Structure formats: structure tokens, C-alpha cells
Structure 1
């Protein structure tokens, strides 16, 4: 049953509030991951429905949520005006079908077609989930936050929960890091290796350098593979669900496609990857020593985020552009694996729970007004 059939078959008198998540399609899985993080904490207390610009809609459905897909502007051949016009029609149909109590948008900036449709529909409670830590001096688009009842800022590592008022009567809420899984859902080393059909003995390193949609990671990846293999590691390479092209892997490297990756991280002795928001939060949650290779072609400041990880757990930060940089970085990581500099600092990681409670409270407030 697709989202349209489900919406038609469900009585409009359902006791559960309806939360419509609109996630954009980014260079990675961050927008979709955060919406799923919130939706999972709302299960059985609300009816989460997704309108996704990310092509990995099957991941939403595998987690038990209804979803509909609309092509991202980055993959559309339409002009900006035409795409926003098409979005307004399709999203309007979604609103008519679902009739949500709350709409949650996760993206860098809200599309005009989205905002216009919300206004035309009568605007149920509106939430903007907007991750921060942008590069200084980067391109920004001014957004009138007074249009939102709630702006959620998923915090970086070490962020504490806080609230400040917005013009128009809404609130801005900073929450601690947002993770899709709870701590007790992460598999331990033995169980994770069994689930992935990896031998219990031996040293394994997991590579997750990103989908390669904006940055060619093949050269860095192949260079690091050689260094780790020379140190006696077996290499496993994550193929991102939204990747538009697969990197050709050397013989002996095992490809892996799983979601959510966090569930299986403890199967590995070490991790190599970019410093995206999801990755860094999940690494700290799982506690797997890491070599972080920030992607400098994105709007968010991955260098700063990587160093935040290194402040609270064993992690090395390096661009790994040359053979010398790669050898030095792997050498530092191996020292950490041998017990040198293995610091760990406990920090709050319950941002998804707090955000879900705030979304649910908005829905309850809207029901009281009706």
C-alpha cells in the first residue's frame, strides 16, 4: 500500500496526530537520516509520513513508514520556477491526502514552492530542522524564521539543549546530537560481525568516504586501502544508497550496503570516512576509533566537526591528499588502537528524543485549538 492508498483508507478521525516529514536530497544521507531519527521516536504516538526528495525511499519504507518521492531540483531538467511550480502541485496533493497536524522540513533552506503550498493550505504547525556549522563566509540564503512555529537545530558534539523565542511567537530549539538509533540498538562486536558474515578473528577497517557525488574520493580511498592492507587489515567499503556512481574497488576489498550503518559499526577495529553530521554522531555513539577525512567541497565545516570528534574520542583528522599524509595519519590511528591517547568523554546524544517531544507537543497544541 502506497502513501496515497494508506491516506485514503485511514479515517480522518484517527486518534494519532499526523506528522508529515519533507526531507531534501543532499550530498549524503543527513536530511533523510534526521527525519527518520525523529519519526522513529514518534512511532505509536503519531503517524509519520514522508515526502522525500532523496531517492532512497525504500529505506523509509523498510523502517515501516509511508513515503512518496519527488525528484530533487538537482536531478530535474526543469527550470527553478518550473520545478517549484511542480513541487507546489505535488506537495499540495500530499497535504490534501495526509492533512497533517505538523509539517517538518529538513533542508538547508525551504523551497518557495514548499512555503507557498503551506500558506495556501492553511499552514498547519510548521517546523524547520536546520543543521548548523556552516563555513564562515559561505553562501547563505536569508529565510524568514518567523514563518515557523519551531526551528530545530540539531546540535554538534557537546551541544546542550536550549530554547530562544523567535519573532512571530515561535521558538528556536537547539538539541544535542541527533542519532537514528538508540544506544541499546547498536550491536556489539561479536553480534555485528555475525550479522555481516565477517570472521570473529582478524582486524577489519570500514571505509565510508561518502557517495562521491561532489568529490572524487577514489584516489584518496585507494591510497588509504594500500596503507591499511600493508598494516594487516581487511578492508570493507560502504556503498552509499544514494551514490550516483560506484567506485571501482581493488581485489580483496569487500563492498557493503546496509542501513542504518550505526548498528554495525562495532564490528570494525577502525573507521575511515568523511566528517558528515551523521557519521560523526554515530562514531561517537559507537566509540569506534576513526580517521576522518573532511570533505571541503560542502557547505558545512567538516574540518571543525572532525576536530570536535577528536576532542572526545580517539580520532585522527587529515586531508590524506598525499602518500605521506596517508601514511602519517594511519600511523597515528594505529598508535591509538594500541592504547596511546585513547581519550573518551561522555556527552549528551539524545537530540532525536528531545526534538520528537517538541514536534509532538506542537501537534497536541494544534489539536487543542481545533
Structure 2
């Protein structure tokens, strides 16, 4: 596994404000990825510490951050009440050890055990990073935003920074799309292929259809693989770090496990994947022509997000559930491969930096409510 090394920092972190990140374990890497995006922008100015429900905790540590792991409720045999009770104790112990100046929760549903531990500890600043774009009719979260000092909504493509006041003195802030990497950290085609030990010549397509934890992607994937191989592409298949079962790959398909994937996207002539938040933001950042296959089993509206991508860059949106759909989608994408890959003007992707500044201000007490 490849990760970005921690930045050199000769200044002691003891004098920095402490920010404790709590990321849930979703169907993909989104919650962890956003917390790492914020933490990387805070490096050298704060001491980020993680409490992670995501099983890929080694990624956090290899990036140079401290981390504790607690099993996700989806993988626990405990009842909801028992799991939340244990969470309250475990997270309370972490709060006593870290003594954070700010706590950042990234997830759709703030757990009762988490909220109980924060209330008992007397959290000085509480932040909820809550991605939007839910489907119509999706369950509403019975947690009052006013319990938080700051609610950060990582925006979709085209979103700009804005703030509104919440009851009890808090704020809700929309920020532009959140990306893990800055633009200059994304390798160009030659450098990315060199880093992945891929030949400079040849046509490569990257498949990232998700870990398959909530949706069986093998059938769709195998059908698309055959089409791209027939068109002369070498297929590379991403193995997700949090996957609980690997898709059996046909002979000749190259498996790839790398993080962060965004760093290497330009090595590929085309991308095939689900329309998760991270993937869509990173594809616009890299400009790689894409076939987006929305996952309809998730709470977020991936079809709508995929169409946003297709509005600003070469991208095809298709469910790819039948041979006819797959054939038409691949044919349309192949016609797009010579389109300029530069990012369209006017699409900010600096949400991570803006969110980090707001978190830091809270941690330092400059914007804490009374």
C-alpha cells in the first residue's frame, strides 16, 4: 500500500490545539477520507488525533497521525444499546487521554454513545461534518444541529463557501468539494505510470466500482471488462482497503491496492467506477474521462452527482445492468477520450482547506460560542 508521507515538522505538537476526529465506517472510504483531508491541512498548526470506526486504520497511522480503532456497529454482534454504551465508555477514555480542544464527527448519524461521551466530558467545541445530497425520502437524522458549534457540509460540484447561523449560537457552513490532495500533489501521466510501474505506452482503464460490501459489482464489472479488453485496453481493478470480499477477477486483469488513489488517476486513459463523493471530486480534479455507474443502494443520490460530473467534464452515466447498456456506455466513453482533460474554470475544489480553517478557529477558541 502506498501512502503520502507525513510532512516534516520540527515544532513540537505539544503546544498545538488538539483536534480529535471521529470517522464512521461507511460503505466506502468517504468518511475517513474527509477527516484525513481536514487533518492534512491542519498539520503543523494543530495535533490531529483519530478515533476510527473504519477498519483501514493503518492508513491513518502511515500518514503520521495517532489513531484508536473501535468496531463499527455494522460488524458488531452487540445490540444497538450495548454498542452505544461501550462506545460511550471507550470514547470517553479517549477524550480524557487526548483532552481535545475540538471534536470533529464525520458521518450521517451522530451516535448516542458519541454524544453522551461528549456531554459527560464537556466538549469545548463540537463539529459535525455531514455530507449532503441525500435521495428524496431518505431517513432524517433525529439529531439537532444546534447541539454542534459548527456543522460543515462538504459541497457538491459548483458549491461555494457560505454560512448561516444556527440556534444556540452555532453555524452551518457549506464549503466547496473536499479533496484529499492539492492539485500539485496529483501526478501527471508519465509520473503516475512510473510510480505504478506501468509502461508509458499502452491504453489502461481503471475500475473502481467499490468494495462490494453493499452491492454485488462482479456481474457489471465482468461485462465491462470484456468490452474494454476487446477495445484494446489493459484493465486495472482497484482493491478497496475496507473490502470484506474481493471480486474474483478474470485472467489478465491487474489488481491494484494504493492510497490515495487520486494521486495516480492520470496514469489511466479512462476510469470506470461508482459515483461516490470522493471519486467524483477527484475525477474532476484529475480530468480523466469516466464511466460512472451510480450505486442505487446508498442513501446519497449518486445518479444526480454523476450527472453533475458529466455536465463539466467528459463522463458517461449509466447503470450498466444489461449488455445493451454496457455496450452503449463504453462506446460513448471511447468517443470522448480525445477531449481536453483540463478542469473547467470556476469549479473550486478547496473545501478541505476552508473547513480546516474553521475547525482550527474553533479549536483555538476564536469562534467558540459562549
Give TM-score, length-normalised by structure 1.
Answer: 0.94
* 1:118–1:124 Cα contact (<8 Å) kept: no
Q: Secondary structure at the match of 1:159?
A: coil
C-alpha change, 1:344 and 1:183, in structure 2 (3 Å) is: closer
Alignment of 1:1-370 (within 5 A): 14-339=14-339, 345-346=344-345, 347-365=347-365
User: C-alpha displacement at 1:13, in angstroms?
Assistant: 9.8
* 2:318–2:325 Cα contact (<8 Å) kept: yes
Q: Give the Cα–Cα distance (whole angstroms) in 2 for the partners of residues 368 and 273 of structure 1.
A: 41
Q: Give the Cα–Cα distance (whole angstroms) in 1 for the partners of residues 13 and 200 of structure 2.
A: 52
* 1:316–1:333 Cα contact (<8 Å) kept: yes
Q: Give the Cα–Cα distance (whole angstroms) in 2 for the partners of residues 119 and 333 of structure 1.
A: 52
Q: Give the Cα–Cα distance (whole angstroms) in 1 for the partners of residues 256 and 298 of structure 2.
A: 24
C-alpha change, 1:42 and 1:15, in structure 2 (3 Å) is: same
C-alpha change, 1:202 and 1:121, in structure 2 (3 Å) is: same
User: C-alpha displacement at 1:123, in angstroms?
Assistant: 1.6
- Tell me the equivalent position of 1:9: none
* 1:239–1:256 Cα contact (<8 Å) kept: yes
* 1:101–1:125 Cα contact (<8 Å) kept: yes
Deviations 1:240-268 (A, max 9, x none): 00000000000000000000000000000
Deviations 1:187-210 (A, max 9, x none): 110010011010000000000000
Q: Which has the higher mean CA deviation after the structures are superposed, 250-259 or 357-366?
A: 357-366
Moved over 3 A (4+): 341-344, 366-370
Q: Give the Cα–Cα distance (whole angstroms) in 1 for the partners of residues 205 and 165 of structure 2.
A: 45
Q: Give the Cα–Cα distance (whole angstroms) in 2 for the partners of residues 338 and 42 of structure 1.
A: 38
How large is the Cα RMSD of the aligned pairs? Answer: 1.7
User: C-alpha displacement at 1:68, in angstroms?
Assistant: 0.5
C-alpha change, 1:261 and 1:13, in structure 2 (3 Å) is: closer
Q: Give the Cα–Cα distance (whole angstroms) in 2 for the partners of residues 229 and 56 of structure 1.
A: 31
- Tell me the equivalent position of 2:8: none
Gaps of 5+ in 1: 1-11
Give TM-score, length-normalised by structure 2.
Answer: 0.94
User: C-alpha displacement at 1:142, in angstroms?
Assistant: 2.2
C-alpha change, 1:225 and 1:168, in structure 2 (3 Å) is: same
- Number of residue-to-residue matches in the alignment: 358
* 1:208–1:238 Cα contact (<8 Å) kept: yes
User: C-alpha displacement at 1:361, in angstroms?
Assistant: 0.4
User: C-alpha displacement at 1:301, in angstroms?
Assistant: 0.1
Q: Give the Cα–Cα distance (whole angstroms) in 2 for the partners of residues 130 and 293 of structure 1.
A: 23
User: C-alpha displacement at 1:14, in angstroms?
Assistant: 2.7
Q: Give the Cα–Cα distance (whole angstroms) in 2 for the partners of residues 232 and 176 of structure 1.
A: 37
Gaps of 5+ in 2: 1-11
C-alpha change, 1:335 and 1:342, in structure 2 (3 Å) is: farther
User: C-alpha displacement at 1:15, in angstroms?
Assistant: 1.5
Q: Give the Cα–Cα distance (whole angstroms) in 2 for the partners of residues 149 and 185 of structure 1.
A: 32
- Tell me the equivalent position of 1:5: none
Q: Secondary structure at the match of 2:193?
A: helix
* 1:336–1:342 Cα contact (<8 Å) kept: no
